């Protein structure tokens, strides 16, 4: 087993000289074997060790026994011990995740805290080849795609390493027995209410006996194949995302619907998954049903719509765009924004509600208007100017038209999403709205040949 673990470490470049490696030690056989082998390897490879233990508090006296055993073992090996405790109540009452999932998230949170406080460069975990086989089979039974069938990764985030991942549980047990090493047993491993335990205790032994005596090795090889395939597919997906102009460095993440529809179904799913993972939210991982819900928005005939994806993440369709965004917290202000400011002319008027400003400047002549710039006949303005949000019944006389049009209709025609309309700064005088940036200037204030004073309006 010693040389098999060394081979795995070198194969995946798990440990470098001078690394300070934390060994996650529960007290069970796998983690004790891992600590023993790494303790033997440390002088040879030039790294140091810290024992890391998380007290879950779920098994009463048994959890306390585990903590005492870990301390005794660390002291016996002359290794420093770093411990963390999951606060009472944290694992109860969570929504959208099982107790196992919540415990895992808390465990990894504590690992991160300990790594920071103790200067750890890696944390080694005791997953074996049998754990890999169980994971791949569980993922398959739940309908996972290539990403799920990769199983447990040998190295994750260049920080979490699994040196036993190509070693079977039988080899681990033989190693412990041969060296007379004591370990503790988790009684919940015998509880068949957990799917993983049923897979381990009943399904895999039956399949091994009936179908393949080397099933663990076969499923481990399958996971390795899918890892290589998935790495290539991820590269292809990122290249496609770049061609589509996707930006993942900001929220919300937006996709052009027409471009997305031009992609084949498999690529559509992968692009949606990338978008889902790019919006930082807390919650369970998003699965096939979430991706399909987003695809239904893409394929539907309604130009607007939304779906709540859990964890305060939503996907919504706004005409020709598919948008992934965080939902506001319950105590955050409403998405509806209301503001009104007297405009300085000439001068700059801050619009604090939307973190923008209106600049009004007297110029010699009109230039070419843009989405954020308009030129207005000063003498056609009725009274003072204000910059404000939309009000019920607002109308404008669009450039080149004799009649007026409701702003609501104007926004619908321009495919402006409802949630954005209240954040568009409107320039208005005492009579009506005279400029809707990016959409429309009023015929009444357009610059003519006889215009004497021209005002340049700009949203900055």
pLDDT of residue 331: 45
Among 133-137, 208-212, 228-232, 288-292, which stretch is predicted with the lowest mean pLDDT?
Answer: 288-292
pLDDT band at 80 (very low <50, low <70, confident <90, very high): very high
- Same structural domain, 180 and 112: yes
Does some domain include residue 332?
no
- Same structural domain, 303 and 155: no
The CATH number of residue 438's host domain is 3.50.40.10
Please count the structural domains in the chain. 3
Mean pLDDT of 118-135: 96
Q: How far is it, in rounded angstroms, from Cα 325 to Cα 341?
A: 29
Does some domain include residue 234?
no
The whole domain housing 256 covers 244-326
- Same structural domain, 295 and 421: no
Is the predicted pLDDT of residue 93 greater than 70, yes or no?
A: no
**173-193 confidence digits (pLDDT tens):** 999 999 999 999 888 777 777
Q: Strand 20-24 vs strand 48-55: parallel, antiparallel, or unpaired?
A: parallel
The C-alpha torsion from 347 through 352 and 356 to 362, rounded to 10°, is -10
- Same structural domain, 141 and 67: yes
Does some domain include residue 235?
no
**197-217 confidence digits (pLDDT tens):** 899 999 999 999 999 999 999
Per-position DSSP letters for 101-130, written without gaps between them: HHHHHHHHHHHHHHHHHHT-SEEE----HH
Does some domain include residue 233?
no
Does some domain include residue 77?
yes
Does some domain include residue 26?
yes
Mean pLDDT of 303-313: 79
Strand partners, 373: 370, 458
Q: How far is it, in rounded angstroms, from Cα 390 to Cα 425?
A: 8
- Same structural domain, 320 and 345: no
Please provide the average confidence, as pLDDT, over all residues in the chain. 88
Per the CB < 8 A criterion, the answer to whether 359 and 458 are in contact is yes
Give the residue from 301, 326, 351 where a domain finishes. Answer: 326
DSSP structural state of residue 189: G
- Same structural domain, 50 and 16: yes
pLDDT of residue 190: 78
Is the predicted pLDDT of residue 435 greater than 50, yes or no?
A: yes
């Amino acid at each position: 087993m010693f040389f098999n673990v060394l081979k795995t470490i070198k194969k995946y470049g798990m440990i470098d000289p001078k690394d300070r490696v934390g060994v996650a030690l529960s007290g069970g056989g796998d983690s004790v074997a891992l600590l023993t082998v790494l303790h033997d390897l440390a002088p040879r490879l030039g790294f140091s060790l810290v024992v890391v233990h998380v007290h879950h508090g779920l098994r009463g006296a048994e959890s306390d026994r585990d903590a005492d055993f870990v301390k005794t073992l660390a002291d016996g090996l002359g290794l420093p011990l770093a411990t963390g405790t999951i606060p009472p109540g944290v694992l109860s009452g969570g929504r959208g995740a099982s107790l196992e999932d919540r415990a895992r998230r808390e465990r990894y949170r504590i690992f991160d805290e300990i790594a920071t406080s103790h200067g750890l460069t890696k944390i080694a975990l005791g997953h074996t080849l049998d754990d890999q086989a169980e994971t791949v089979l569980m993922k398959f039974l739940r309908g996972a795609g290539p990403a799920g069938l990769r199983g447990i990764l040998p190295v994750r985030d260049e920080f979490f390493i699994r040196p036993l991942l190509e070693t079977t549980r039988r080899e681990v047990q033989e190693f412990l027995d041969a060296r007379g090493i004591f370990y503790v047993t988790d009684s919940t491993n015998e509880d068949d209410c957990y799917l993983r335990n049923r897979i381990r205790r009943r399904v895999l032994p039956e399949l091994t006996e009936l179908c393949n005596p080397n099933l663990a090795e076969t499923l481990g090889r399958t996971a390795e194949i899918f890892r290589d395939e998935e790495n290539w597919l991820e590269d292809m997906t990122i290249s496609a995302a770049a061609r589509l102009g996707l930006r993942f460095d900001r929220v919300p993440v937006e996709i052009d619907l027409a471009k997305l529809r031009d992609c084949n179904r498999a690529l559509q799913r992968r692009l949606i998954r990338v978008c889902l993972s790019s919006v930082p939210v807390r919650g369970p991982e998003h699965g096939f049903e979430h991706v399909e819900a987003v695809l239904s928005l893409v394929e539907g005939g309604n130009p607007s719509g939304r779906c709540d994806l859990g964890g305060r993440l939503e996907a919504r369709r706004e005409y020709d765009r598919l948008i992934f965004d965080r939902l506001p917290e319950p105590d955050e202000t409403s998405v509806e924004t209301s503001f009104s400011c007297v405009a300085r002319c000439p001068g700059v008027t801050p619009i604090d509600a939307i973190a923008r400003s209106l600049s009004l400047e007297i110029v010699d002549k009109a230039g070419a208007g843009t989405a954020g710039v308009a030129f207005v006949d000063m003498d056609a303005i009725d009274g003072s100017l204000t910059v404000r949000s939309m009000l019920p019944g607002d109308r404008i006389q669009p450039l080149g038209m004799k009649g007026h049009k409701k702003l609501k209709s104007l926004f619908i025609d321009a495919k402006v999403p409802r949630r954005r309309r209240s954040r568009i700064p409107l320039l208005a005088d005492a009579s009506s709205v005279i400029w809707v940036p990016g959409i429309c200037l009023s015929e009444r204030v357009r610059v003519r040949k006889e215009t004497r004073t021209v005002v340049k309006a700009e949203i900055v």
